[in-house]
Amino acid sequence: MLAGCGLLPNYKEEVPESWSAERIYKAAKDEIDNQNYDKATTYLEKLQSRYPYGKYAQQAQIELIYVYFENKDEASAISAADRFIKFHPNSSAVDYAYYMKGIANFIGETGVISSIVPKDMSQRDPKSEVEAFDAFKALVTRFPNSKYASDSRLRMQYLANLLSMHEIRVADYYYRRGDYVASINRAQTVLKDYPKTPATENALVDMVKSYDRLGMDKLRDDAKRVLDKTYPQWDKKVISTKQKLPWWQFWE
């Protein structure tokens, strides 16, 4: 296989020194139209290095976000989006950069294993989901009328539900270990950062239970009063986010 790689064309040698910025950009666009993202990436990167301050440089940067993403290189797409946001904060395309940064983080782990073995996303490290949420939030806050705002709001709601349930899982973990202060802190994060999500009820229940364990009767009663008013049927339910682990996670 390694020997065979030597037979592949070296695209980095296919950009003659005599080519102008316009010609390189046109070649890159042609490759994008033909979905040849590897070659398009080479052209765009060469354009940036040769003509970093030309009129095509900014457009090359925004195109690179797209070709990295289409080439399933989410990390490079996120880095390219961050660079564009940093160096072109007043560009008319900066909302697109925020959107693509959010999308690249939103995609997360992909591949054959993920498609065969379902995952409960709330059990994963939510770093990518947090960064996606922040990118979408920045977009809808700064550019509420952007054509990407509507889709970003929908993705934010999904991520808020996901992230709030992750916080509840951690709060329940601390509760089971007897670290009631940590459990309360996690529950409060849900109420502050992800209000009006389905996990709000669980957060209030965790606070009531933890304050009760700590003997903090006034705070327990305050939390219970809010819980009774907001979710009057809560005491008739089995409130638990602990689920049976799938077979491939038995060691947890």
For the stretch 182-229, pLDDT in tens is 999 999 999 999 998 999 999 999 999 999 999 999 999 999 999 999
**Residue of 108, 126, 120 lying closest to 241 (CA atoms):** 120
Q: What is the pTM of this model?
A: 0.77
The rounded distance, in Å, linking the Cα atoms of 60 and 24 is 10
Q: What is the 3-state secondary structure (H, E, C) of 28-56?
A: HHHHHHCCCHHHHHHHHHHHHHHCCCCCC
CB 210 within 8 A of CB 183: yes
Task: Count CA atoms within 13 Å of residue 42 on its CB side.
Answer: 14
Residue owning tokens 């797209």: 66
Q: What is the pLDDT of residue 108?
A: 61
CB 101 within 8 A of CB 81: yes
The rounded distance, in Å, linking the Cα atoms of 110 and 214 is 43
pLDDT per position as a tens digit, 23-34: 999 999 999 999
Question: Where residue 232 falls among pLDDT bands split at 50, 70, 90?
Answer: confident
151 burial class (0-12, 13-18, 19+ CB within 10 angstroms)? middle
Amino acid residing at 35: Q
